[in-house]
Amino acid sequence: MAKLSRRDFTALCGGALAAGGLMASWPLGAEAEAMADDKLTTMTLSEASAAIRNRSVTPTQLTKAVLGRIAVYDPKLNSYITVMGREALKQAAQLDEEQKAGKFRGPLHGIPIALKDNIDTAGTRTTAASGVFQKRIPTEDATIVRKLKASGAIILGKLNLHEFALGCTGDVSYFGPTRNPWALDRVTGGSSAGSGAAVAGDLCFAALGTDTGGSIRVPSSWCGIAGLKPTTGLVSIRGIIPCAASLDHCGPMARSVEDVALMLGEMTGYDNLDIFSVQHGPEDYTKAMKQPVSSFKLGAPAEFYDHMEPEVAAAIAAACEVLSKLTAGITSHAPLPDMPEGNNFFMQLGDTASYHEPLFKGAPTAYMPPTRMQLERMIQGGSAVDSARAHDELALIRRTVDAAFTDIDLVVMPTIRNLPPTINDSLAAEMGTKKPRVYDFFAAPSGCTNTAPFDVYGLPALTIPCGFSTSGLPIGLMIAGPHFAEGKVLALGYAYQQATDWHKRKPTLTPDMVPPSIVEAS
């Protein structure tokens, strides 16, 4: 394995060496283990919601149980940047009183969830996992945070991510890499790394992620949970630190399709001050999720099935066999629009360079080294002409893409064509010190090859677990449809989960587990 220098090690680990201080004010040892009641924390969001409604558990009991589990297990996963324990318990106490009075705000009443740390929270720092924003404290909540608080969701804290959401591995963070709960030496996928790990590790009942090239679906797939990137503009992104604003989405990550549907129902709505928000009437996604799928015609675009690792290919083939029996069948004739030519479309849009240029000029060394290299290329490359043309091309693709669904209802494909790499190998690749193999040119280790087109298309796309490798690593199936087809996408995912049990598997975490070394420093 390629070795990193001690200087590189320190730069890549960033503030992680001191991250334990964030947990110091919360119960540790036996006290935390006593609070971490697995009977409560292993419930799905839907089960927890029902338990609160029938008063068999209180919001405070749920919150204390999850905070206890965070104290025990997050030092192994590094999924949280900031734990908002006091604020969460204060919210829970108020929601307890409403529960006693029989006043329920909705299905999220009293449910502890967590937010990716690029989503603004008033009075609590929002860092985007970067040294650039290590002391940034917003004065207002993001629109989506206000909506979720109003619906009764309890905010547990802020989750780790790939710095500024600029990567699909989840290992480049000022606060250190997040670890995969299924194998602590593996990446979670990114950029919503902490969101994937926290949900899979039962450190929250659901989480918010953002998705610009796959950042909800990649960590959901590699962590063995469900994650949905909604239609562009369906969920407000105002108050979220941008990655590339024209491609940014915010969506739910949870343990089942039903949980995702419950979350989505509380997240949508037009935001007049969000320039990307679109008008769309409210939908009952839990009802739409239960519609019959037997008449659905599915497409499996061949280009999304190239160069899969063998175990991924086997799991996807088995999943497609199940889907073909549940529906009207699958055809490989599913011509989705070609992606913009070249590998610089993300750069040509200019959204990322526009946001970061003033920050970069002021403190370039505050960025992690791989991020700094990316931004140098973005800021130096591309012109106003390139940006204008790229935005025009993006608008045209989004306006015409639904025509691809004239003869089919939905498309299905592997979420990621390969299994997650180790953190060590991924960091070596991020720093350019890993010698590539021939196969690396086909199986991009970032994992975003299949997911990124749907951010360009602006279409809803869901990932769900569909199998495991022989070494116990999750494999994901992606389901996508035309604009505002969230109901159908969720319905097919729900039907698949009713027919299989992959989503019921949980990683094995124990209090005495010792995480392996992050890198081999020299």
Q: Which residues contact 423 (CB under 8 A, 6 or more apart)?
A: 171, 177, 179, 185, 186, 187, 518, 519
Q: Which two tokens stand for residue 106?
A: 């909705």
CB-based contact 266:108 (threshold 8 Å): yes
Q: What does the DSSP 8-state code read for residue 479?
A: E
Q: Which of 187, 258, 203 is nearest to 228 (CA)?
A: 258
Give the DSSP letter of residue 482: S
Has 90 been annotated as catalytic?
Answer: no
Please say if 191 is a catalytic residue: yes
Going by the DSSP 8-state scheme, the letter that residue 337 receives in this structure is P
What distance separates the 2 farthest-apart alpha carbons in the chain? 64
The tokens for 306 are 């190239």
Tokens of 349: 């849009």
Q: Taking phi first (over 0 means left), then psi (-120 to 50 degrees means alpha), and beta for anything else, what does residue 239 get?
A: left
Q: Is 192 known to be catalytic? A: no
Q: How far apart are CA 405 and CA 149, in angstroms?
A: 37
Closest CA to 219 of 515, 33, 476, 454: 476
Quickly list DSSP for 33-96: HHH--HHHHTS-HHHHHHHHHTTSS-HHHHHHHHHHHHHHHHHHH--EEEE-HHHHHHHHHHHH
User: Is 365 buried (19+), middle (13-18) or exposed (0-12) by CB count in 10 A?
Assistant: exposed
DSSP-derived pairing of the beta strands 298-299 and 112-116: unpaired
**Helix and strand counts by DSSP (H, E) for the chain:** 19, 11
Tokens of 183: 């194998």
Q: Which of the residues 215, 246, 277, 426 is marked catalytic?
A: 215
The residue annotated as part of the active site, out of 79, 191, 192, 387, is 191
SS3 400: helix
Looking at this protein, which amino acid is placed at residue 447?
G
3-state helix, strand, coil in the chain (%, to 5): 45, 15, 45
Considering only CA atoms, give the Rg of the chain: 21
Catalytic site residue from 116, 147, 229, 488? 116
Query: Active-site positions?
Result: 116, 191, 215
